[in-house]
Amino acid sequence: MTLVSVLSLLDQIFEWSRLRIDRKGYSLRGWFRNQFFAHHEIKDFKIVEFTGKKLLAVEFKDQVRKDRGLTDQPIPFPCCFGRSIDEVFKTVRSAIDRTPRSSRKA
């Protein structure tokens, strides 16, 4: 129990696990997995219920799902970091950059 507490404290101090939202997109870094979603790839965020719990999920645009080989289901976005799901949902949803971009690939 002490080891878990120390690791959790170190995680808070050194920010190993974090969600960063910037001009490029959403960067979600955890202890074992890093994910990045560009603004132009995201259609929306939604709250889904799974086994009685609210979960935050990202919904990709059709072309992005096709390019990444994903299903039509929303992808879990595990980033509450001790905050309520509703608070994080409002934050990520309001931060989507919906600026039109060229669909050409560089």
pLDDT, tens digit, for every residue of 81-90? 667 888 888 8
**Which fold, 17-94?**
PH-domain like (2.30.29)
Domain ranges of the chain: 17-94
Q: For position 16, what pLDDT does the model report?
A: 61
Share of the chain above pLDDT 90, in %: 2
Read off the pLDDT of residues 8-47 as tens digits, 9 standing for 90 and up: 777 666 666 677 788 888 887 777 778 888 889 889 889 8
DSSP-assigned letters across all residues of 5-58 = HHHHHHHHHHTSSEEEE-SSEEEEE-SS-EEEEEGGGEEEEEEEEETTEEEEEE
Q: Report the distance separating Cα 22 and Cα 6, nearest Å.
A: 30
Eight-class DSSP state of 75: E
